[in-house]
Amino acid sequence: MAKKKVSDRHKDKQEAPVPKGRLLAIGGHEDKGKKELTEEQSRNVNFEKKEILQFLVSELKGENPMIAIVPTASTVPAEIAQDYREVFQELGVKNIEVIDIRKRPDARNKEFCDIVERAAGIMFPGGDQLRLTSILGGTSVLELMKERFTYDEDIIIAGTSAGATAMSTPMIYEGETKEGYIKGDVRITTGLEFLKNIAIDTHFIERGRIVRMSQCIATNPGCIGIGLESDTAIYVTEGKHIRVIGSGLITVVDGMGITDTNIHEIGTGEAFTVRDMRVHLLSKDECYTIPTFDQLHA
């Protein structure tokens, strides 16, 4: 019997589902309307007070929609949750819950699963993305969130700063140096996996993170890197269609066309080389579609 071609075998398999949920990844320091404008904000005609959080609220579906705040990444979760509770109330949201998971056993709380089932939106504030993955990874609460994101068009998942970085796979969680040009300086693990084959980094331009993202993509050229500047976000539909929101820029790092890199040849502690990596800078209302291959596995 003739052996099936790869393309023919593919027809026999069920492709991974296209996510029906929507995602909002924010670069951090999104305006909450509580501070005086900086000089840069006052000169930026694209700056709008509370624009990103107002957009999130506008995307909540249903009558009296509920938004759930997950402050797990923070070392001061009660303060962070209260901060977002206040701003959401100012934006007209009356139904707000807090999923206060601080340790892995907390994730077994059935009340939290019930909140996830009822939520129109789930917000992950900033802090430490490794806290998010190490505490939530493999728990029923996270799996329920991912299930709703995959199959339920009535939910939006949002994260800011560390909460945005954790949305991706792979996930950058630490850098030995600010520059990130030394092999081994950038530490990467698996994120919460709401977005596949996408790496997100935040506070991107102000903290000079283009090189550390480049190292991440040089080692994972099948992934797309997205750097989010402060008060800037990406709104993602179907897991790949992106629209830019906010006052700054996003940086897209595409390594699929890399022609040469020595990252696999040099030793830890040496500077790396990469050639023909593509970079796009996109501002407010620009759109971009992540180049993807058909997924064989969910």
Per residue in 191-222, pLDDT (tens digit) is 999 999 999 999 999 888 999 999 999 999 99
pLDDT at 235: 98
Residue 74 has pLDDT above 70, yes or no: yes
pLDDT at 149: 97
**pLDDT band at 99; cut points 50, 70, 90:** very high
The residue ranges of every structural domain in the chain are 19-289
**Nearest to residue 81, comparing CAs of 67, 89, 91, 70?**
70
User: What would the two tokens of residue 257 be?
Assistant: 């066309």
pLDDT-wise least confident of 27-36, 83-92, 107-116: 27-36
Per residue in 114-161, pLDDT (tens digit) is 999 999 999 999 999 999 999 999 999 999 999 999 999 999 999 999
Whose tokens are 């994730």? That residue is 107
pLDDT at 292: 73
**pLDDT band at 295; cut points 50, 70, 90:** low
User: What would the two tokens of residue 38 be?
Assistant: 């900086």
Whose tokens are 């001061």? That residue is 76
| Contact in structure between 162 and 127 (CB atoms under 8 Å) | yes
Per residue in 262-271, pLDDT (tens digit) is 999 999 999 9
**pLDDT band at 41; cut points 50, 70, 90:** confident
Tell which wins on pLDDT, 181 or 79: 79
**Nearest to residue 200, comparing CAs of 157, 253, 137?**
253
In this prediction, residues 47-53 reach a mean pLDDT of 90
For the entire predicted model, the pTM comes to: 0.91
**pLDDT band at 293; cut points 50, 70, 90:** low
Whose tokens are 């407010």? That residue is 284
Q: How many angstroms separate the CA atoms of 89 and 296, rounded?
A: 42
Indicate the DSSP class of residue 104: G
Residue 23 has pLDDT above 80, yes or no: yes
Q: Which strands, in side-by-side order, build the sheet including 198-202?
A: 198-202, 224-228, 250-254, 278-282
At the topology level, CATH places domain 19-289 in Rossmann fold (3.40.50)
pLDDT at 175: 67
Query: Helix 140-151 and helix 110-118: axis angle, to 10°?
Result: 10
**Nearest to residue 232, comparing CAs of 247, 218, 222?**
247
Between β-strands 22-26 and 232-237, what pairing exists: parallel, antiparallel or unpaired? antiparallel
In this prediction, residues 62-67 reach a mean pLDDT of 96
Q: What is the mean pLDDT of the chain?
A: 90
Tell which wins on pLDDT, 5 or 84: 84
pLDDT at 15: 62
Q: Supply the DSSP string of 13-81, one letter for each residue.
A: SPPPPPP-SEEEEE-S----S-SPPPHHHHH-TT--TTHHHHHHHHT--SSS-EEEE--TT-SSHHHHH
Tell which wins on pLDDT, 167 or 47: 167
Per residue in 228-244, pLDDT (tens digit) is 999 999 999 999 999 99
**pLDDT band at 36; cut points 50, 70, 90:** confident
**pLDDT band at 34; cut points 50, 70, 90:** confident
pLDDT at 4: 44
**pLDDT band at 12; cut points 50, 70, 90:** very low
Q: How many angstroms separate the CA atoms of 67 and 64, rounded?
A: 10
Tell which wins on pLDDT, 35 or 145: 145
**Nearest to residue 52, comparing CAs of 206, 209, 194, 202?**
202
